[in-house]
Amino acid sequence: MLKKAQDYLSMKGIENPRLTAEILLAHCLSLKRIDLYLNYDRPLNERELSTYRSLLSRRARHYPLQYLTGEVEFYSSRFLVAEGVFIPRPETEVLVERVKEAIEGGAMVADIGTGCGVIAISLAKIFPLARFYASDISEDALRVAKDNAVKTGVEERITFLLGDLLAPLKGLEGKLDAVVSNPPYIPQDELGNLPDEVRLYEPKAAIDGGKGGTEIQERIISEAWPYLGEGGILALEVGDLQSKRVMSLMERRYSRIEVFPDLNGIERVVMGRKAQG
C-alpha cells in the first residue's frame, strides 16, 4: 500500500510522496511511522483501506497534509490545527527563539494574530511565571488555540482575545514587556503564485500582507508602541526582502533594532525596543 500510495502521490506532483504516504497511513492506523515497518505484513481491513484512499485522494488535490492529520509539529511539540486556521511554519521558530532570549521570566507578552497559538504557547512552556495575551480576528483560530493551550497545560496563563490586531488589548497600555507577531506578509500581487496548498486552502486573511506585503507590520509597529513599557520589545516575523522596509518603519520610535536570519539565511525576524518619548 505504501508503494502504491507513493507512486500515486508522485504522479500527482506531491512533494515527498513517500513521507506523505507514511504519515497518512500512520495517521489512519493510529500508529507511529516506525510502527508501520514493525508491522509491515499487517493486512488492512476494508474500513482502513477506504479511509486511507480517501486521505490520499484529498492530498492528491493538494489539500494540506496538516489539515488531514489535524496536527503540526512546531518547536519540538505537536499542535492541533484545523481548516480555516493558518498552518505554522518552521521559520517562525526563529521568532520564538529570539523572543526567548530577550525577555525575562515574569514578563507580560502579547502575541498578535496568534493563529493556533504556537508562539504564545511555546513561550508559556518556557516561562512558567510569564503572563500572555493572544489576539486573533478569527474565532476558528482562537478555538483551536484554546484547545492547544489546554492540551499543553498553559491555559491558565494565556488570555485569548477576539479582535483586530492590538484592539482587544485596551487597558494594558504601558504594561507589556513584549509584543510579538507573525503577521500576514505575502504581497497581494504574489498571492496567485503561491503553491496550491496555500492558495486554495489556507485562510487568505492569514497570508495577505496587502500591497508590498508590509501593511500589517506597519500597523503593528504603530499600534504596539503605547502598550509597551519603557524598553519593551517588539518582534516581528517578515517575508523575504522585507526586513529593510520594516526596520525603517521601526526606527521612528524604536531603538536597538536587530535582524535575525532563518536557517535558509533569509532575514526573518526584526526586533527593536521601545525608545523614550
Q: Within 13 Å of residue 102, how many CA atoms lie on the same side as its CB?
A: 26
Q: Which of 79, 86, 127, 132 is catalytic?
A: 86
Distant-in-sequence contacts of 66-70, Cβ < 8 A, 24+ apart: 67/201, 68/24, 68/27, 69/23, 69/24, 69/27
Q: Which of 132, 148, 168, 182 is catalytic?
A: 182
Active site residue 260: no
Active site residue 86: yes
Q: Within 13 Å of residue 9, how many CA atoms lie on the same side as its CB?
A: 27
Q: Which of 17, 64, 88, 183 is catalytic?
A: 183
Active site residue 182: yes
What's the N-to-C CA distance of the chain in angstroms?
65
- Number of neighbouring beta carbons within 10 Å of residue 243: 21
Q: Cite the active site residues.
A: 86, 182-183
